[in-house]
Amino acid sequence: MKRVVFVGGIAPSMFPNYKELTLYYKRVNIDELKELVKDAEVLNYVRHESTVKVLSEILGKQLTPSTELYIWRENDILVVVGLKKPVRGQEVEVSAEDLDLVMVRVFPGKWTP
């Protein structure tokens, strides 16, 4: 079963056992996100409560905020969840329209054209 993992960003600490990786980055909309998580194990590593609440509503899945550290597993599909207009230093309520969603596929090794 595929794993779709929601994260708040990409950090080097997610890949402790890899020296070189290639990332494929694709912005997705809500409909593409719903299709992506269909028949998938969904994990959440986003801690912003309002964002997680909106994701839960969109997907019809009960997600909970997380402060855990994520370590990448080969074949995981990452979805980086951000805001189209980030607000720093404040707690904000968000809606589905505020979300900036990016699917990231990670491949071990160097990409050569």
Proportion of the chain above pLDDT 90, given as a percent = 84
The per-residue pLDDT for 1 is 86
The answer to whether residue 21 sits within a structural domain is: yes
9-49 pLDDT, tens per residue?
A: 999 999 999 999 999 999 999 999 999 999 999 999 999 99
54: confidence class by pLDDT, cuts 50, 70, 90: very high
Nearest to residue 99, comparing CAs of 62, 60, 52? 52
The answer to whether residue 105 sits within a structural domain is: no
The answer to whether residue 110 sits within a structural domain is: no
**Which CATH number is 63's domain given?**
3.40.50.11170
- Chain-centroid distance of CA 48 in Å reads 12
Tally Cβ neighbours within 10 Å of residue 68.
9
The answer to whether residue 58 sits within a structural domain is: yes
Q: In this structure, which amino acid lies at residue 96?
A: A
User: What pTM did the predictor assign?
Assistant: 0.92
- Looking at the structure of the chain, the number of domains it has is 1
Residue 81 CA to residue 36 CA, distance in Å, equals 14
Residue 107 CA to residue 56 CA, distance in Å, equals 28
Q: Which domain holds residue 32?
A: 3-100
First to last CA, the chain: 30
The answer to whether residue 33 sits within a structural domain is: yes
The answer to whether residue 107 sits within a structural domain is: no
Tally Cβ neighbours within 10 Å of residue 84.
10
